[in-house]
Amino acid sequence: MLNKEIIINTNEEYDKFKKKLLLYRSWLYCFVSFKISGEVRQKELKDFETALNIKNDRKRTRFIYDRACKFIDEYNEEHCICCEYHDSICEDPKHQKMKNGCCWYCHLQTETGCPSRNLACKLFFCDHMWEKHHPLTAKDIDILLMFSPSRRAIARENTFVTEETFLRQLDIGSYGLMCIYSITKLFRFRNL
């Protein structure tokens, strides 16, 4: 196995590295072991190094998912961002009639809250919360750049499902979108 050492000492080098992530996770680097070091954002660099060195796609997806959930939880805890309920009723005047606020539609809700660790649900906040706290978006979580664009879209939009279903849809969705794209491209050329 080949070794590739990447040293990142400035924010500009970090931004260039983020732009090369899709290349580094491609089949061209499947037999390369990465060693990433630097002086800026050492925690993120360690996560990138670990993710790049995981060659099994499902294990890598699981690792990225876990790190993104952990990052969101730490950020929300640090900045005291959480939905404001009083007796399961939302504090927002627009949602006061709905029990469990924005999550009233979700079939996973229980009396004690949501048992699911869904990445899209963790990123979703209503307008009231946006005005008050300015929570994270998917663009703020650098480890999500390890996902393909189709997986990032699924990670942003796939709410109200369990963690296992979410991960399965991440696996299926990326291949499914690729197949749909290939088929439409094939039919487009046949009709010319």
User: pLDDT, tens digit, for every residue of 163-191?
Assistant: 888 888 888 766 665 566 556 655 554 44
Residue 67: pLDDT over 90: yes
Q: Domain limits at 184?
A: 56-190
Q: Is residue 61 included in any domain, yes or no? A: yes
In a domain, 184, yes or no: yes
Using an 8 Å Cβ cutoff, are 155 and 129 in contact?
no
- What is the structure's pLDDT at 46? 93
**Residue 79: is its pLDDT beyond 90?**
no
> Is 111 in a helix, a strand, or coil?
coil
What pTM does this model have? 0.81
pLDDT tens string 81-111:
777 666 666 766 666 666 666 777 777 877 7
pLDDT recorded at residue 68: 92
Q: Round to whole Å and give the CA distance between 117 and 158.
A: 12
Answer whether residue 4 is part of any domain.
no
pLDDT tens-digit readout, 17-61: 999 998 998 888 889 999 998 888 889 999 999 999 999 888 999
Tell me if 13 is assigned to some domain: no
Answer for the pair 35, 3: CB distance below 8 angstroms, yes or no: yes
Kindly report which listed range (39-43, 46-50, 121-125, 141-145) carries the lowest average pLDDT score. 121-125
Q: What average pLDDT does the segment 133-152 reach? A: 86
Instruction: Tell me whether residue 106 is in a domain.
Output: yes
What is the C-alpha end-to-end distance of the chain, expressed in Å? 45
3-state secondary structure of 1: coil
Question: What pLDDT, on the 0 to 100 scale, is given for residue 156?
Answer: 82
In three state form, how does the secondary structure of 113-165 look? Answer: ECCCCCHHHHHCCCHHHHHHHCCCCHHHCHHHHHCCHHHHHHHHHCCCCCHHH
Task: Categorize the per-residue pLDDT at 70 as very low, low, confident or very high, splitting at 50, 70 and 90.
Answer: very high
Beta strands in 9-118 (DSSP E): 32-38, 85-86, 89-90
Q: Is residue 84 part of a domain?
A: yes
Mean pLDDT of the region 114-120 = 81
For residue 164, being part of any structural domain is answered with: yes
Residue 12 resides in a domain: no
**Residue 158 above 90 pLDDT?**
no
Number of folded domains that form the chain: 1
